[in-house]
Amino acid sequence: MAASIPHLDECLSPHWEMRQQDHVKLVWHEPFEGVRRVRALAWTCDCRAVVYELLQSGGQAFIRKTTQTEPTPKVEETHRWSIEEARRAWHALLLGEMR
């Protein structure tokens, strides 16, 4: 029996909520070039123009924002937090409480 192929409109990754009126504004920076090994802990669906990733590197974590523009995507990152702080920020971002 062949495995069923999901429809294109069935997203597997979470979507971020629209930002709340009183949201906390994150400061976005150019990507830090010194990071060699990065592990993705979580990510949002790439069906939207902006994709977020929660990344870990060297005992710290940060959020990467990729705006899918042509011809080259724009990539920005937050500062580094402890993994616990970054997970809290990640959940707030998904709920629209941070952006």
Query: Domain range holding 68?
Result: 39-94
For residue 34, being part of any structural domain is answered with: no
For residue 67, being part of any structural domain is answered with: yes
pLDDT bin (cut points 50, 70, 90) of residue 9 is low
For residue 46, being part of any structural domain is answered with: yes
pLDDT above 60: residue 72: yes
For residue 69, being part of any structural domain is answered with: yes
For residue 17, being part of any structural domain is answered with: no
Per-residue pLDDT of 19-68, as tens digits, reads 999 999 999 999 988 767 899 999 999 999 999 999 999 899 999 999 99
Residue 16 near residue 94 (C-beta atoms within 8 A): yes
For residue 33, being part of any structural domain is answered with: no
Greatest mean pLDDT range, 9-13, 31-35, 94-98: 94-98
Number of domains observed in the structure of the chain? 1
For residue 83, being part of any structural domain is answered with: yes
In order, the DSSP letters of 33-79 are: TT----EEEEE--TTSSEEEEEEEETTEEEEEEEE--SSS-EEEE--
pLDDT at 38: 93
For residue 24, being part of any structural domain is answered with: no
